[in-house]
Structure 1
């Protein structure tokens, strides 16, 4: 199990902003191990594909709390990295204002498929405190698969203060097909391919040299989540700054 506490900022960049900012980041930060070893387009070091399946309650508790701006909220998902689809991560994100906690537990592909099919009893069988909490939440509030989101990620890290910067593009999703591990899954674009979502994740404070790079992007800051976008596919939702 892995537990992470952090703050997060998000920005919506056009391609010109993206190339300029990534060029500067490459000079001062290092690509993470996934970006270096698992390229999604055949070019070493260009990123990797992430896919997440989101669960929500029968009355869409988590989605509506985000939409209503509730201060304390959560998201439950299965995440897989498409270069190695033999495992997935059950992740629970709890967020209060700018602060968030993410707890992850590694499951096999077969266990992930069981959860998607509604067999939550495997969470009980492992007798792990985090999985028991997930089981109680999923059973009490009748959690079911609600959407899938897929995107290409290029990520950079700084050793100081566990700072992580990610660029997500070609963001697409589905509200009807929950085959998490299917490479041919049919999905709908969630944002225009001419835009990239930049996420800056850090613990406690940002180093000054990174703060300085972000100053020109302040007008591009956003708060919408990929899960929210995926739940609005049929509503012709537009991502706004």
Structure 2
């Protein structure tokens, strides 16, 4: 069992394919690439849970100051493990906690059998069980995209570029090779996320060269939820 805790500030930008090409080349020269990048980045697939009344989604749309999201995450359909994550927004800060669980336990969570979390000794597993069970969470949407990431040890900075963002309401196919996803954003658009602790380093600001008007509250999760509601 492995618990990971990350506390950062996060800024998002919706950029064009041309901007992505330019920025990614600059970051590749100065920062270390994520070890999972490969030649073209790596796949990220998440299964989001929400209450029967869609409380988390409604709070996201309303911009509630303190809110959370519950999800399972994998990086390959063949993975033998998955991450159970609770992401909490606290003002301008983001707290993300992750618990590594077995593929078999991920399958049980997809069925609403949250009792398997009690087999883990860490208090975070018990907390997740309480949240999922008490609030009657169920799987709602799959979100999938390709990610290219760069890391910088100073200020624990991480910059990601997410493209080919798609969604599926076929939540039972989360661990299958094809999850039935469809695009939820124009294929030429890329979501760039800049995650850091305390403050954003000046020379990263200079590289970005983006005005505040380019910063956006775009959310892959919200795009997917809205798309699933439409279809």
What range describes the TM-score normalised by the shorter chain of this pair? over 0.9
Find the aligned partners of 1:128 and 1:147 in 2 and give their Cα distance.
Answer: 27
Tell me the TM-score normalised to structure 2 length: 0.94
Equivalent in the alignment of 2:114: 120
Task: Identify the residue that residue 22 of structure 1 maps to in structure 2.
Answer: 24
Secondary structure (helix, strand or coil) at the match of 1:205 reads coil
Aligned partner of residue 65 in structure 1, secondary structure:
helix
Partner of 1:228: 222
Question: Partners of 2:229 and 2:131 in 1: how far apart?
Answer: 28
State the distance in 2 between where 1:33 and 1:11 align: 23
Q: 1:191-202 maps to which residues of 2 (within 5 A)?
A: 191-202=185-196
Unaligned segments of structure 2, at least 5 residues = none
Secondary structure of 1:24's match? helix
- Structure 1 counterpart SS, 2:209: helix
Match of 1:154 among 124, 148, 156: 148
Deviations 1:98-139 (A, max 9, x none): 201100000111110110011100112223210111111111
Superposed CA RMSD = 1.6
Query: Deviations along 1:38-61, whole A, 9 cap, x unmatched?
Result: x3xxxxx32110100000111111
Call closer, same or farther: CA 1:107–1:234 in 2, change over 3 Å: closer
Task: From the superposition, tell whether residues 234 and 3 of structure 1 become closer, same or farther in structure 2 (CA, over 3 Å).
Answer: closer
Question: Where does 1:68-217 land on structure 2 (aligned, <5 Å)?
Answer: 68-82=62-76, 85-217=79-211
Please state how far the C-alpha of 1:236 moved relative to its aligned partner. 5.6
TM-score (normalised: structure 1)? 0.90
Whole-Å separation in 1 of the counterparts to 2:146 and 2:58: 27
Q: Which residue of 1 aligns with 2:5?
A: 3
Contact 1:92 1:104 in 2 (8 A): yes
Deviations 1:186-225, CA, capped at 9 Å, x for gaps? 1110111101110101111111110112232532211132
Deviations 1:51-106 (A, max 9, x none): 00000111111100010110000000000011752111000001022201100000
| Corresponding position of 1:42 | none
Give the match's secondary structure for 1:3: strand
Per-residue deviation at 1:143? Answer: 0.3
Structure 1's consecutive aligned runs of 4 or more residues displaced over 3 angstroms after TM superposition are: 234-237
